[in-house]
């Protein structure tokens, strides 16, 4: 589990195709790895990856075909900047919201413009996620915990303060940028709960 509070921006240092999936080496820059062991999880642009090697300047992780199909990982290249967050511990301050690192879908930046000292972004989610996005609710964008300012169909607004712009990959967003989206866990579980006994029924 994660909080959606980005700890550092790293970059993709190496990509290796392996039998249909990918092995990544991520350079972590300012993210300290002294408390990271093999098998630990690190959210990488919102994607929960398992550390399989610690070469010294970062970590190595394998990415499955499923992850490649449902996230932006397939678009990454050497040098791509990525948001990084280590898995939370019992001592971690929960400054964002509960984030699983399991990306629901890929969205897109529609527009951005200045709003006083902040930036106002309009993002577009796939139609199947629209019902989970609520005004003043939480959403995870490339691993960053954010508050939804407005909703209009599949589009939703975010007001991003200068600190977040400078400490995450959001500063580089432009119209057309593809983004990893994870909706609020509570909304997911609530939908399942409301199904009642129908939840046990198999699809035809």
CATH number for position 151: 2.40.30.20
Number of domains in the chain: 2
Same domain, 113 and 167: yes
**Per-residue pLDDT at 194:** 84
Own/partner contacts of 166-173, CB < 8 Å, gap of 24 or more, are 167/6, 167/9, 168/6, 168/9, 168/83, 168/142, 168/144, 169/9, 169/45, 169/81, 169/82, 169/83, 169/142, 170/119, 170/121, 170/141, 170/142, 170/144, 172/81, 173/109, 173/112, 173/121
Same domain, 113 and 79: no
Same domain, 14 and 79: yes
**Per-residue pLDDT at 187:** 83
User: H-type helices in 51-184, by residue range?
Assistant: 65-70, 162-167
**Per-residue pLDDT at 198:** 79
- What tokens does 113 get? 């413009």
Same domain, 119 and 73: no
**Domain of 111, in residue numbers:** 105-191
Of 86, 120, 150, which residue is a domain's last? 86
* Residue 154 located in a structural domain: yes
* Residue 144 located in a structural domain: yes
Residue of 172, 112, 110 lying closest to 142 (CA atoms) = 172
d(CA 11, CA 34): 19
d(CA 123, CA 115): 16
Over the chain (204 residues), the average pLDDT of each successive run of 10 is 94 94 96 94 98 96 95 96 91 78 96 96 97 94 96 97 96 97 88 79 75
Same domain, 66 and 117: no
d(CA 127, CA 12): 30
d(CA 122, CA 86): 28
**Per-residue pLDDT at 204:** 65
């Amino acid at each position: 589990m994660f909080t959606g509070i980005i700890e550092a921006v790293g970059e993709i240092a190496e990509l290796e195709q392996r039998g249909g999936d990918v092995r990544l080496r991520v350079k972590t820059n300012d993210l300290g790895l002294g408390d990271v062991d093999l098998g630990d999880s690190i959210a990488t642009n919102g994607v929960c990856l398992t550390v399989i090697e610690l070469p010294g300047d970062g970590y190595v992780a394998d990415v499955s075909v499923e992850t490649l199909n449902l996230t932006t990982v397939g678009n990454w290249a050497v040098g791509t900047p990525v948001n990084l967050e280590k898995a939370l511990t019992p001592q971690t301050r929960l400054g964002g919201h509960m984030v699983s690192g399991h990306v629901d879908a890929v969205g897109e930046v529609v527009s951005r413009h200045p709003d006083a000292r902040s930036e106002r972004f309009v993002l577009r989610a796939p139609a199947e996620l629209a019902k989970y996005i609520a005004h003043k609710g939480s959403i995870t964008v490339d691993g960053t915990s954010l508050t939804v300012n407005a909703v209009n169909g599949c589009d939703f607004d975010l007001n991003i303060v200068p600190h977040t712009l400078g400490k995450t990959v959001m500063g580089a967003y432009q119209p057309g940028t593809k983004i990893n989206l994870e909706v609020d866990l509570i909304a997911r579980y609530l939908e399942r709960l409301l199904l009642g006994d129908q939840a046990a029924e198999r699809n035809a």
